[in-house]
């Protein structure tokens, strides 16, 4: 008894493995193992396995509603892929047992997805595939049944799975009337199923169906007749419909009507069937046909009526399966179109994102371009301003001496004179011209002449004030406008100029050539505030100084 079995020495993982392995074959041991596991301290994954075994146990007891709720809860919470697969296998079986096809399909779909996460070589992977093949065959979706079954057939497995693969594949192929390499697949299936207590007869039944399809009735009789004895006096209905229907059909093909009649009479003791309702209905039809031929019309009619009833039952069941399948397909295709819609939306979002990104890149590029433009513009403005300043400087200053040139002097002097006139300020103007300058050029060269001009400007500038305006107004002619000064200071400054010019030696080393200049002076009292007049009068005074022997100053004398 289970109570006497002692599992206390077995490690929990091993105990779980054994329980899972024997779950369908030994219910007493399973009960004891579950009891042992319930008494132990388990980790998260082990708790998952125990819940699965408890749920499985409920299915064995036919407590499908309880099993379903604990299995669905476990499906949601387990983190073990193996437990999730086992749970969905059980759910597929629970929904098959309760003919809940749409839920069965959704569990089958989950299982299909889950097994892709199992290694291809995993036994659980193969077992799940067989469960799927069986489920799809069961709901008469034989293409899917065949596809799944073929996956395991191709693995060429030995044992239970190899046998199951052959049965499932041939079952689907028979219903699809797919041509098979009959000899090879029949031999393989029969040999892999021989010795399998529960599967040997089903394998023979499925092979017999193949023989019926290929019209080889004697082979059916040879294969199945020895098994008839198992059904004598037995109340089991498992395989009962199939064996009697197949033998009856074979006998009819062999023209052995009496044997066929015997088979069909036994078959029609059944008025319902869980699995093979279609074959049971067809059995009634075959017998009705025989009775009709025997002239037992009333019996034939009654059998026909029963046939139609069973046929209707079968069609109802088949229709509910087909409807469930269509519904599930529709839900899948809805989900797929939802996924497609999401995908499309994603693409759209991605495109928008790309556009935005492009926009952002453009913006960034634009900003960079703008920055560069601003920078270049700044550079340009800065440069052009400095060029302008340089140009202005060029136009304002004498290139050789770096003091104001004539045009700048005229502009500034006009403004200053007008200011002075307005404010009744005194102004004086000194014009001076270097003496015998041509001789410097001629004797010491033009470059020496330039140097002399630069020295004169430099020396004179050192003796001017901030408000004085010194300029080179001609080749060797300079001009000084003194603001707020009377002629007394003008004479003082002129004498200072005379002195510093004397210190400039135009000659080359060893040849002394002291520079001199002739100065003409005037002021606002003599010449007014008009620039032209001031310049003219000062010029006249210069001429006077030159005429008087040079190297001297002359104050403008209006009378002369």
Ligand X SMILES: Nc1nc2c(ncn2[C@@H]2O[C@H](COP(=O)(O)OP(=O)(O)OP(=O)(O)O)[C@@H](O)[C@H]2O)c(=O)[nH]1
Residues that bind ligand X (CB under 6 A): 400, 433-438, 441, 446, 449-450, 453, 475-476, 546
Closest distance to ligand X from the beta carbon of 474 (Å)? 7
Alpha-carbon torsion, ordered 501, 549, 525, 529, to 10 deg: -60
Closest distance to ligand X from the beta carbon of 550 (Å)? 6
Give the nearer residue to ligand X in terms of CB position, either 270 or 513.
Answer: 513
Give the nearer residue to ligand X in terms of CB position, either 385 or 446.
Answer: 446
Beta-ladder partners of 553: 519
Closest distance to ligand X from the beta carbon of 544 (Å)? 13
Closest distance to ligand X from the beta carbon of 488 (Å)? 27
Give the nearer residue to ligand X in terms of CB position, either 431 or 453.
Answer: 453
Give the nearer residue to ligand X in terms of CB position, either 242 or 476.
Answer: 476
Contact call for residues 515 and 502 (beta carbons, < 8 A): yes
Give the nearer residue to ligand X in terms of CB position, either 72 or 441.
Answer: 441
Q: Residues 6 or more apart from 344 whose CB is under 8 A from it?
A: none
Closest distance to ligand X from the beta carbon of 401 (Å)? 9
Closest distance to ligand X from the beta carbon of 413 (Å)? 21
Name the burial class of residue 464, with classes exposed (0-12), middle (13-18) and buried (19+) by CB atoms within 10 angstroms of its CB. Answer: middle
Give the nearer residue to ligand X in terms of CB position, either 435 or 468.
Answer: 435
Closest distance to ligand X from the beta carbon of 547 (Å)? 10
Alpha-carbon torsion, ordered 267, 273, 277, 281, to 10 deg: 40
Give the nearer residue to ligand X in terms of CB position, either 271 or 438.
Answer: 438
Q: Is the dihedral of CA 278, 280, 285, 286 positive or negative?
A: positive
Secondary structure of residue 25 in the 3-state scheme: coil
Closest distance to ligand X from the beta carbon of 553 (Å)? 15
Beta-ladder partners of 470: 480
Give the nearer residue to ligand X in terms of CB position, either 147 or 448.
Answer: 448
Residue 457: closest CA among 472, 467, 469, 446? 472
Q: How many residues does the chain have?
A: 560
Give the nearer residue to ligand X in terms of CB position, either 35 or 547.
Answer: 547
- Residue-by-residue DSSP string for 329-362: HHHHHHHHHHHHHHHHHHHHHHHHHHHHHHHHHH
Name the burial class of residue 154, with classes exposed (0-12), middle (13-18) and buried (19+) by CB atoms within 10 angstroms of its CB. Answer: exposed
Closest distance to ligand X from the beta carbon of 440 (Å)? 7
Contact call for residues 460 and 478 (beta carbons, < 8 A): yes
Give the nearer residue to ligand X in terms of CB position, either 331 or 441.
Answer: 441
Task: Measure the CA–CA gap between 255 and 15, rounded to whole angstroms.
Answer: 57
Closest distance to ligand X from the beta carbon of 462 (Å)? 21
Secondary structure of residue 7 in the 3-state scheme: coil
- Kindly report each contact of residues 283-288 with a partner whose C-beta sits within 8 Å and lies 24 or more positions away, as own/partner: 283/241, 283/244, 283/245, 283/248, 284/310, 286/248, 286/249, 286/252, 286/260, 287/261
Give the nearer residue to ligand X in terms of CB position, either 396 or 400.
Answer: 400
Task: Measure the CA–CA gap between 287 and 276, rounded to whole angstroms.
Answer: 17
SS (H, E, C) 235-270: CCCCCHHHHHHHHHHHHHHCCCHHHHHHHHHHHCCC
Closest distance to ligand X from the beta carbon of 557 (Å)? 21
Secondary structure of residue 479 in the 3-state scheme: strand
Give the nearer residue to ligand X in terms of CB position, either 23 or 546.
Answer: 546
Closest distance to ligand X from the beta carbon of 379 (Å)? 36
Give the nearer residue to ligand X in terms of CB position, either 273 or 434.
Answer: 434
Helix axes 81-97, 44-60, angle to 10 degrees: 10
Residue 17: closest CA among 28, 33, 31, 3? 33
Q: State how far Cα 192 lies from the chain centre.
A: 51
Secondary structure of residue 505 in the 3-state scheme: strand
Closest distance to ligand X from the beta carbon of 454 (Å)? 10
Give the nearer residue to ligand X in terms of CB position, either 357 or 442.
Answer: 442
Closest distance to ligand X from the beta carbon of 515 (Å)? 10
Residue 332: closest CA among 146, 139, 110, 68? 110
Task: Measure the CA–CA gap between 309 and 78, rounded to whole angstroms.
Answer: 46
Residue 230: closest CA among 257, 264, 185, 198? 198
């Amino acid at each position: 008894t289970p109570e006497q079995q002692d599992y206390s020495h077995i490690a929990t993982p091993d105990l779980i493995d054994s329980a899972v392995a024997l779950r369908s074959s030994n219910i007493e041991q399973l009960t004891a193992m579950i009891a042992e596991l319930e008494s132990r301290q388990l980790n998260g994954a082990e708790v998952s396995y125990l819940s699965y075994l408890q749920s499985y146990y409920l299915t064995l007891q036919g407590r499908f509603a309880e099993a379903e709720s604990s299995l669905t809860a476990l499906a949601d919470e387990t983190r073990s892929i193996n437990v999730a697969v086992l749970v969905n296998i059980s759910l597929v079986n629970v929904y098959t047992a309760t003919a809940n096809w749409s839920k069965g399909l959704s569990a089958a779909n989950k299982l299909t997805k889950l097994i892709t996460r199992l290694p291809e070589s995993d036994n659980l992977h193969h077992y799940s595939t067989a469960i799927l093949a069986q489920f799809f065959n069961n709901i008469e979706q034989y293409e899917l049944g065949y596809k799944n079954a073929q996956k395991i057939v191709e693995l060429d497995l030995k044992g239970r799975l190899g046998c199951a693969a052959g049965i499932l594949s041939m079952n689907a192929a028979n219903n699809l009337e797919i041509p098979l390499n009959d000899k090879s697949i029949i031999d393989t299936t029969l040999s892999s199923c021989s010795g399998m207590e529960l599967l040997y007869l089903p394998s023979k039944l499925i092979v017999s169906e193949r023989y019926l399809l290929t019209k080889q009735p004697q082979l059916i009789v040879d294969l199945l007749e020895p098994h008839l004895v198992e059904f004598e006096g037995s109340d089991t209905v498992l395989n009962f419909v199939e064996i009697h229907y197949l033998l009856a059909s074979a006998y009819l093909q062999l023209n052995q009507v009496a044997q066929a009649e015997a088979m069909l009479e036994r078959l029609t003791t059944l008025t319902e069937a869980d699995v093979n309702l279609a074959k049971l209905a067809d059995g009634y039809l075959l017998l009705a046909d025989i009775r009709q031929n025997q002239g037992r019309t009333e019996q034939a009619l009654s059998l026909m009526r029963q046939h139609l009833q069973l046929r209707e039952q079968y069609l109802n069941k088949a229709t509910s399966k087909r409807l469930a399948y269509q519904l599930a397909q529709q839900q899948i295709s809805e989900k797929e179109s939802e996924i497609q819609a999401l995908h499309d939306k994603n693409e759209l979002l991605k495109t928008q994102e790309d556009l935005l990104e492009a926009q952002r890149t453009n913006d960034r590029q634009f900003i960079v371009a703008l920055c560069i433009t601003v920078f270049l513009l700044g550079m340009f403005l800065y440069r052009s301003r400095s060029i302008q300043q340089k140009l202005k400087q060029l136009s304002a200053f004498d290139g050789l001496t770096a003091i104001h040139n004539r045009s700048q002097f005229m502009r500034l002097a006009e403004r200053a004179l007008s200011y002075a006139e307005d404010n009744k300020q005194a102004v004086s103007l000194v014009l001076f011209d270097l003496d015998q300058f041509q001789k410097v050029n001629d004797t010491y060269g033009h470059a020496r002449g330039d140097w002399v001009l630069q020295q004169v400007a430099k020396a004179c500038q050192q003796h001017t004030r901030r408000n004085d305006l010194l300029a080179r107004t001609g080749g060797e002619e300079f001009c000084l406008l003194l603001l707020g000064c009377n002629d007394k200071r003008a004479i003082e400054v002129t004498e200072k100029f005379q002195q510093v010019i004397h210190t400039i030696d135009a000659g080359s080393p060893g040849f002394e050539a002291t520079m001199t200049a002739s100065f003409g002076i005037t002021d606002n009292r003599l010449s007014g505030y008009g620039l032209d007049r001031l310049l003219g009068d000062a010029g006249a005074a210069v001429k006077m100084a030159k005429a008087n022997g040079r190297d001297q100053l002359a104050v403008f004398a209006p009378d002369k």
